[in-house]
Amino acid sequence: MTATLITSIGELTTQTDECGTLHDAAIVIDGERIAWIGAATDAPPADERVDVAGRAVLPGWVDSHTHLVFAGDRAAEFVDRMAGRPYAAGGIMTTVGATRAASDAELRAHALRLRAEALAGGTTVLEAKTGYGLDLDSEERLARISAEVADAVTFLGAHVVPAGVGRREYLDLVTGPMLAAVAPYAAFVDVFCEAGAFTVDESREVLLAGRAAGLGLKVHGNQLGESGGVGLAVELGAVSVDHVNHLSDADLDALAGGMTMATILPGADLSTREALAPARRLADAGVRLAIASNCNPGTSFTTNMQFCVATAVLQHHLSIEEAVAAATTGGAAALSLDVGPDAVGRLAVGGFASFQILGAPSIAHIAYRPGMPLVDAVWLRGRRDEGQFLPIVANRFSHPSCHQLRG
């Protein structure tokens, strides 16, 4: 097995208590794992050497909320919304129609293109939800394809009630045959607890059925109003409640006193023109945060986690350190992937060598240079993504550890 030394790292963000943030650092990769972390001057010999010339290195993004498998787009709906039409949950059915009409091959190819796009932007782990099928066969198909392209699958049959189906009839389907068909592929069950989607009581029924089937719990909650989704998520011990745009004092106290993560979705906040999720208020209350892309064709058609992190700093008032943590270790916790030797979203000896190399000397540039393609290279479990490269550039940064880039 070939060991690779990544050296001359200007700023190494490990997201671990043991190492924290190091400067003039290096790491050694052996296979798909990290074998050593420390000062560049103390690095052990290795078979290969990559000099990153003062660039910043940080864990790959962990995107804990996407709707990656779908067909069609909703650009016309977006244009209308920008002209003043308010967002409502019913637009989901437009995507359901297009998705049902697409072939497996078309859905898979589109999802793989989005996954490759996310990887090029530094995302090394992501979740994908069902929810654009809304009948038994289509939801099973979406779960199966999602399991091929994503690291974790979430069953979201309870997205909305499809037209022509009674609410009780559909709830019985979601909590019975549909759940049984999807469960072999899924790690979590989710529900859209919101006006126009599902009530608190209906959402509780869906979540309890999912728990009985062995799935972890997630909630789409409090996006359009104080829907009760946050309280329900905390009551049932859900791993995360996502959106959280509208919070009462009781909601905030419940999150601060429980174990449920709050996931903010900056792309959706901008696209729907909803009130921004109160990330600063949540962080100050001690609530642990995740940041995710919410990639979907209706309200956040982006896989760019760098954009979401920058927005969380510039618009949601998080520090860059808080935002990067929320998009790495926070995302891992929101997928229950934050413990043990296979934990993601961090760089630790014995852990996976999944990281991104920025074309900048520090993580501050993610928000300092918003919208710029700063990812120079991505390593996924010890292998550099073939679509990325490190150009040979001398003195690229004004940084004391900058050297000619080699290898």
For residue 394, the model assigns a pLDDT of 30
Cα separation, 70 vs 92, in Å, equals 11
Gap between the Cα atoms of 81 and 221, Å rounded: 21
What is the distance between the alpha carbons of residues 233 and 247, in angstroms, rounded to a whole number? 13
Among the residues of 63-166, which ranges form H helices? 75-82, 92-101, 104-120, 136-149
Give the Cα separation of 1 and 285 in Å (integer): 47
What does the pLDDT look like over 305-315, one tens digit per residue? 999 999 999 99
- Return the number of other C-beta atoms located less than 10 Å from residue 369's C-beta: 15
Question: pLDDT over 70 for what percent of the chain?
Answer: 94
pLDDT exceeds cutoff 90 at 378? yes
Residue 389: pLDDT over 50: no
**What superfamily in CATH does domain 3-59+345-384 come from?**
Urease, subunit C, domain 1 (2.30.40.10)
Q: Residue 156's Cα: distance from chain center in Å?
A: 16
Region 87-113: mean pLDDT is 90
How far is Cα 374 from Cα 378, in angstroms, rounded to an integer?
A: 11
| Residue 288 confidence (pLDDT) | 97
Does 402 score more than 80 pLDDT?
no
DSSP strand pairing (21-30 vs 33-39): antiparallel
Whole-angstrom distance, CA of residue 24 vs CA of residue 41: 8
Q: What is the pLDDT of residues 317-326, one digit of tens each?
A: 999 999 999 9
Tell me the per-residue pLDDT of 226-277, one tens digit each, with 9 for 90 and over.
999 999 999 999 999 999 999 999 999 999 999 999 999 999 999 999 899 9
* Cβ atoms 322, 93 nearer than 8 A: no
170 φ, ψ (degrees, to nearest 5): -70, -40
- Residue 91's pLDDT band (cuts 50, 70, 90): confident
- For 345-366, write each residue's pLDDT tens digit: 999 999 999 999 999 999 999 9
3-state secondary structure of 91: helix
Q: Is the pLDDT of residue 6 over 50?
A: yes
Angle in degrees, 0-180, between the axes of helices 249-257 and 229-236, rounded to the nearest 10 = 20
Q: What is the pLDDT of residues 131-182, one digit of tens each?
A: 999 999 999 999 999 999 999 999 999 999 999 999 999 999 999 999 999 9
Cα gap 20→26, rounded to integer Å: 13
The two structure tokens encoding residue 405: 């880039």
Q: How many CA atoms lie within 13 A of 176 on its CB side?
A: 6
CA distance 164 to 42: 67
CB 271 within 8 A of CB 81: yes
Tokens coding 318: 């998080």
The token pair at 71 is: 């067909």
| Per-residue pLDDT at 201 exceeds 50 | yes
Question: Are residues 138 and 172 in contact, defined by beta-carbon separation less than 8 angstroms?
Answer: no
CATH code for the domain defined by 62-333: 3.20.20.140
Query: Could you tell me the pTM of the whole model?
Result: 0.93
Percent share of the chain, pLDDT over 90: 89
Distance of CA 317 to the CA centre of its chain: 19
pLDDT category at 80 given cuts 50, 70, 90 is confident
Confidence of residue 88 (pLDDT cuts 50, 70, 90): low
Contact 218, 211 (CB under 8 A): no
Per-residue model confidence (pLDDT) at position 385: 79
> In whole angstroms, how far apart are CA 263 and each of 19, 127, 179, 181?
26, 13, 24, 28
For all residues of the chain together, what is the average pLDDT?
93
pLDDT at 391 over 70: no
Give the model confidence (pLDDT) of 64-77 as tens digits. Answer: 999 999 999 999 88
Sorted by where each begins, the domain ranges of the chain are 3-59+345-384, 62-333
d(CA 200, CA 165): 20
Please tell me the distance from the alpha carbon of residue 301 to that of residue 159, in angstroms, as a whole number. 18
